[in-house]
Amino acid sequence: MKKRFGIDIDGTVTCPTSLIPFINKAFNMDISYEDINQYDLTPFVNVSKDEFAQWFTENEPTIYRDSPLANGAKSVLNKWATSHELFYISARGAHLLAVTEDWFTRNGVLFNHIELIGSHDKIETAKKYNVDIFFEDKHDNAVAIFEECHIPVILFDTPYNQEPIPKGVIRVHNWHEALDWVDHWLKQQTYQTVQS
């Protein structure tokens, strides 16, 4: 049965450590991934919130162009792409669509649609496209999407998303664990369809 997968990009399809070398270089720091225990990075840098936001906006195209893939993401996503639809839903701004599509093409990651919504509120977009499952690294997004859309949400474990999760949010440590969970979920869906 064909499913539509809603997938976050940054820290989910791209490696969650992607930003750190850029920050360390720009601000002459030595932050390690393990230190990043919250999503907002402002407290970790030695500049004001506005200055950091400005730096981020200016550097987004470079960061997104050079972000490495998360381990295992490509093989798992491209496997799913043969029987399901992959809708990438990201908080990136719409002006970054070309750099984003180019990244997917260069990295050989298949996609059906990329929607850059320019905000972290993905619920409306997840509902609009009727996605059946979502993949995230941001804790509050994962919980909100599960609660509002009533779909399973796979949360990729990172140091910055350690808060407790409800039962419908499934914490995994890598894409291979996500693949196992989804395989099992798809089998259950098929079974339920046969039963009903």
Q: Please state the closest distance from residue 18 (CB atom) to Mg ion, in A.
A: 10
Q: Please state the closest distance from residue 10 (CB atom) to Mg ion, in A.
A: 4
**Rg for the chain (alpha carbons), in Å?**
17
| Closest to Mg ion by CB, 57 or 83 | 57
Binding mask 109-148 for Mg ion (x = CB under 5 A): ----------------------------x-----------
Residue 32's Cβ-count burial label (10 Å; 0-12, 13-18, 19+) is exposed
Binding mask 6-25 for Mg ion (x = CB under 5 A): --x-xx--------------
Q: Of 135, 139, 138, 141, whose CA–CA distance to 164 is shortest?
A: 139
| Closest to Mg ion by CB, 115 or 186 | 115
DSSP3 helix / strand / coil % (the chain, rounded to 5): 45, 15, 40
Q: Please state the closest distance from residue 27 (CB atom) to Mg ion, in A.
A: 21
